[in-house]
Structure 1
Amino acid sequence: MSVKYSVVLRKNPAKSAEPGKYYAHAQAYGEMDFDSLCEEVNGRCTVTRADVSAVLESVLDSMNKGLANGQIVRLGNFGSFQIGVRSHGAAKEKEFIPTMIRGTKISFRPGKLLTNMQKTLNYAQVAKLPVKVTTNV
């Protein structure tokens, strides 16, 4: 298997007068949903698909609780998750108030398992996916 990509023209928004350059753009082909993941794991070990589903749901619930409490959630060689915040700035520290926080994001840092996988990827160029056209009727 290989990572599929197409080549696309992109302009630098900071230097709009300069001509664009061509860059690789990853193309996803299909997806692995929760049920497919459970089935895949079931095929690699002795636990049932229902057991895999129950464990993964429990892991997600525990991750949710840990992240909501401000903890870093580490999943061994898979990687770690942490809450980050986005906010408006204040001129002085004492002027900052909690309502200046615009929202949060979840940061993921891959561990050794995924980092090592990235080092061994193969690539295959494919045609660009068609642009989706939406109409307002």
Structure 2
Amino acid sequence: MSVKYSVVMRKNPSRITEPGKYYAHAQAYGDLDFDSLCEDVNSRCTVTRADLAAVIESVLDSMKQALAKGQIVRLGNFGSFQIGLSSKGAEKEDEYNSSFIRGTRIAFRPGKLLINMQKTLSYSQVAKLPVKAKATTTPGTGV
């Protein structure tokens, strides 16, 4: 199997007057939902689909609780998850308080399993996906 990509032109936002360059853009083909993941894993082992679903849901609940406490969640060779913050700056340290925090994100750092998988990927070029048409309305009519 290979990673599908198309070639797209992009401009450098800091050099908007310069001509754009062409870059690879990964194209996703489908997805693997929770039920399909459980079925796939079930076909490879003796654990039932229902047991798999229960274990995965429990792991996700534990991860959510640990992240909310500020812990790093390490999933062995798969990778780790950690909360990151976005905030405004204060002029002085003693002026800073939690109201400066704008939001959070969850940072994922891949482990050896995924890093090694990336080293073995192959690539195949495909046509660009069609651009979705934007809905247009006639002013004053809402149509």
Query: Residue 81 of structure 2 aligns to which amino acid in structure 1?
Result: F
Query: Residue 17 of structure 2 aligns to which amino acid in structure 1?
Result: A
Inter-partner Cα distance in structure 1 for 2:91 and 2:13: 28
For 1:110, the equivalent position in structure 2 comes to 110
Inter-partner Cα distance in structure 2 for 1:127 and 1:30: 16
Structure (1 or 2) with the larger CA radius of gyration: 2
Q: Which moved more, 1:88-97 or 1:19-28?
A: 88-97
For 2:140, the equivalent position in structure 1 comes to none
Q: How much does 1:105 deviate?
A: 0.1
Inter-partner Cα distance in structure 2 for 1:133 and 1:118: 34
Structure 1 residue matching 2:6: 3-state secondary structure: strand
Give the % identical residues: 74
Aligned residue runs from structure 1 range 49-60, under 5 A: 49-60=49-60
Inter-partner Cα distance in structure 1 for 2:91 and 2:45: 56
Query: Residue 6 of structure 1 aligns to which amino acid in structure 2?
Result: S
Q: How much does 1:102 deviate?
A: 0.5
For 1:120, the equivalent position in structure 2 comes to 120
- Count residues with an aligned counterpart: 137
Query: Residue 83 of structure 2 aligns to which amino acid in structure 1?
Result: I
Please list the CA deviations of residues 37-82 of structure 1 after superposition, one character each: whole Å capped at 9, or x if unmatched.
Answer: 0011101111000011000000000000000000000000100000
Structure 1: 5+ residue stretches without partners: none
The CA RMSD over aligned residues, in Å, is 0.7
Inter-partner Cα distance in structure 1 for 2:57 and 2:3: 29
Structure 2: 5+ residue stretches without partners: 137-142
Report whether the alignment pairs 1:15 with 2:9.
Answer: no
Q: How much does 1:100 deviate?
A: 1.0
Give the TM-score normalised by the residue count of structure 1.
0.98
Q: How much does 1:132 deviate?
A: 0.9
For 1:85, the equivalent position in structure 2 comes to 85
Aligned residue runs from structure 1 range 16-55, under 5 A: 16-55=16-55
Q: How much does 1:134 deviate?
A: 1.9
* Runs of 4+ more than 6 Å apart: none
